[in-house]
Homo-oligomer: A and B are copies of this chain.
Amino acid sequence: MFRQLGLIGCGLMGGSFALAMKRAGLVKHVVGYSKSPSTVITAQKMGVIDQMAESALMAVSGADIVLIAVPVAATEATLRAIRHLVHPNTLFMDVGSTKADVVAAARRVLRERLPSFVPAHPIAGKEVAGITHADATLYQDCQVVLTPTVETDMTLIERARAAWTGIGAQVRVMTPDAHDAAFAAVSHLPHLLAFAAFLSVQHQPEGAQFLELAGPGFRDFTRIAAGDPAVWRDVLLANKAQVLAQAELFKTTLYKFESAMRDGNADVIEGLIKQAATGRANWKK
């Protein structure tokens, strides 16, 4: 389907994409670039990439598919570095968790070349980062949201869909704003709450003893608190308006519980928990 993948950023997300595309026979040759020389060497040793590139621009040269898999805040600089080789007929994608900011950066930098860029967000990840955790099955059965603009080339959207579908993912198409609103609610705010919850326990004088007593519920609840600090710093800032709005809604709900507890209102508390528990139990996964 594709001849050559240019991979910019050889971390967990990018490395897993390259491995999956190769395993599925969807790409013949992978040229990879990473800011860190040791990462790109490891990627080649692991067979994730076939050839090392000395710059992002070199990784793009000759590629018919390019994946930009760098922290969200580095996307604009990356687009700037490669813009001269952003041709029609080459599919350019990113993997960022926020999309309005990425689309705005792409619009600023790529201008008339914007149609080649299909913004993508694969809903996948691990609480470990780096090339050594790259995994050909990472995107198997996950969802991938594409957030094209009105300018985006329809043919490239379909090629993007075929690539992700070919490695086992399900593809949805949304506007960048709808994407960011949804993920503020179901991903960014939950991460923020998990960071704050873990930190709040940890910072207490008896925090260490408390943490020793924590069980499997706490383990699962705080799993996402181990997320990559640079990645989540960028996400929380890139989507801050939506995340702060979701935080307000959350606090309003929390306040309902707190005031029912203060009043000793068992019926209200049970009613609220019942709605949450029923909703959660009936939720798809």
Contact = CB atoms under 8 A, between A and B. Distances in A.
Copies in the complex: 2
A274 to B, nearest CB: 4
A202 interface: yes
Contacts of A38: none
Nearest to A285: B219
Q: How large is the interface on A (under 10, 10 to 19, 20 to 34, 35 or more residues)?
A: 35 or more
A220 interface: yes
Contacts of A212: 284
A214 B191 CA distance: 12
A279 to B, nearest CB: 5
B237 A269 contact: yes
A213 B124 CA distance: 12
B266 A196 contact: no
Interface in A219-257: 219-230, 232-233, 236-237, 240, 243-244, 246-247, 249-254, 256-257
A274 B229 contact: yes
**Main SS of chain A's interface residues?**
helix
A269 B236 contact: yes
A223 B220 contact: yes
A12 to B, nearest CB: 14
B226 A244 contact: no
Given A196-B257, A253-B199, A273 B232 contact: yes
A80 to B, nearest CB: 20
B187 A276 contact: no
A279 B258 CA distance: 28
A201 B186 contact: yes
Interface string A173-209: 0000000011101110111111111111111101101
A279 B198 contact: yes
Given A124-B215, A198-B276, A225-B276, 6 more contacts: A189-B197, A190-B221, A228-B277, A229-B270, A233-B270, A237-B261
